[in-house]
Amino acid sequence: MRIFHVLPGAVHETGALPTELAPRSFVWIACGRREFELEQGHIQSTLHALHSVTLVDLHVSDLLNNQLPSHFDYTSQYDILVFRRLAAGHSETDLAHPGQVLTQHIKRGGPPVLRRIDTSPVGFAVFDRVLVTVHPAGCTVLEQYASRLLAAASAASRAAGVNLPSGPADLMLRIVNQMVDGYLDLRRELTRQLDHWQAELLHPSTRFNNWGSLLDARISLHHLDEICEDQRAAIQDWIEALSGWEVIEGSASDHFGGHRGLELLKVRSRDVLEHIERVVHNVRRLEQNAETAVQMHFSAQSNRTNDIMRTLTALTAIFLPLNLIAGIFGMNFEFIPLLHKESGFWWAMGSMTLTAVVLSVLFWRKRYLARTGER
C-alpha cells in the first residue's frame, strides 16, 4: 500500500493512513487488490474519520472483483469507477486467489502482442478529499504514475509549469488517461504483426497455414472492442455525473479550484473520452483489416484457381481437334483417304500441328493463356 498526501505545490508519501488532512489537500491511497482485501477495515476507518462515510459492501465487492467490466456508479458521498486497463503484461489474478500473482501465465492464442495485453480492472473510489485506487498485483501503471507524481512535485518541475492534480477526481482522470495511452503504445507492434499476416495471406507463393492464430487474433480484437466500449460507456456516465456537480467558491469542499477547476476537470474528462475513442477506432480498424485480409486471400486463391482452370481448359481445347484427327485415322476401315499413301502421315501431322498453332495463337490473343496479373 502506498499513501500520498497531495498539497498545493507539494507531494509527500507516507506509510500510515491519515487521521486528518490539511486545508486544500487530499490523499491518495493506492493498494493492490489483495492488500485492499486484507486492509479494508483500516481503510474504511480512515474514510469514516475523514468523511464520516464508508464504502458500501457492494462497492467493496466491485473493487475486489478482478473480472468486472468497466463501469461507473455513484452515491451522494462518493463515486466508483472500475476501468479495465489495456497494458502490456499477463493477467495476474484468478478467482480462487484474488490479488495474488500467478506463477503460470494464462495461455491465450493470437499474435504475441495480444497475448501480452492485460485487461485486469483497476478500481477508483473518488471522495471529496480522498482517492482510493485498487490495482492488480504488480501494476506498472501505479508505479509509473507514482514516480511521475513525485517528480512533478519537485521545484524544477514546478518551475517548468508542471501542475499537480487539483483533487481526487483530477488524479483519477490522469491515471485513467495513462492507462488508455498504454494501449496506444502497443498498437504499433500489433499493427506490424497483422501487416505481416496480410503480406503472407496475399503472397502468391506462400501457403498460409496459421489459421488458428489468425482466428484467435480476430477473437481477441473483438474482445478488446467490447472492453473499449465498456470503457467509453463508463467515462460517458462519469461525464454526465460531473455535469451535475455544484461548486461553492471558497468552501472546504472546493478542492479543485472553483468553477474554473470544474471546467478544467470536464475538459480533461472529454480528453480521456477522446483517447478511448481513438483506441476504439484503432481496434476496429485492425479487426476490419484482419477480416479484409482473409477475404482478399480467398479472392486471390479463387483468381489463381480460375487462372489455372482457364489455362487447362484452353489446353484441352487445343488438343481436342488433335484427338479427333488421331481418332479418325485410327478407325478400322479398309479405305481411308491418305491411309495407304507414303505422305499420309506427314499430311496428318502437319494438319495437327497447324491446328494446334492456330488455336494457341487465337487463345493467346484472347488472353486465355495469360495470367491475370499480366493484364
Are both 222 and 321 inside the same structural domain? no
Q: Rounded distance, CA 331 to CA 358, Å? A: 26
Are both 237 and 273 inside the same structural domain? yes
Of the residues 299, 318, 335, the one at which a domain ends: 299
Specify the DSSP element, H or E, that contains 10: strand 10-14
For residue 204, the tally of other CB atoms under 10 A from its CB is 10
What pLDDT was estimated at residue 175? 87
Of the residues 299, 327, 352, the one at which a domain ends: 299
What pLDDT was estimated at residue 267? 86
What pLDDT was estimated at residue 254? 46
Domain enclosing residue 192, as ranges = 2-299
**pTM > 0.75:** no
What pLDDT was estimated at residue 125? 92
Do the bridges between strand 117-118 and strand 2-7 make them parallel or antiparallel, or are there none, so unpaired?
Answer: unpaired
Distance of alpha carbon 343 from the chain centroid: 78
Return the closest-CA partner of residue 180 out of 68, 113, 275.
275
Q: How many separate domains does the chain show? A: 2
Are both 293 and 317 inside the same structural domain? no
Q: Output the domain CATH number for residue 210.
A: 3.30.460.20
Specify the DSSP element, H or E, that contains 126: strand 121-126
Contact 81, 134 (CB under 8 A): no
Give the three cell numbers for residue 192: 506490424
What pLDDT was estimated at residue 132? 92
- Mean pLDDT per 10-residue interval, the chain, length 375 residues: 84 84 86 88 90 90 87 89 72 41 45 65 90 84 81 59 78 85 71 73 68 73 82 88 67 53 82 84 80 76 80 84 82 75 81 87 79 50
Contact 294, 214 (CB under 8 A): yes
Are both 245 and 342 inside the same structural domain? no
Are both 222 and 323 inside the same structural domain? no
Are both 61 and 127 inside the same structural domain? yes
Q: Is 158 exposed, middle or buried (0-12, 13-18, 19+ CB in 10 A)?
A: middle
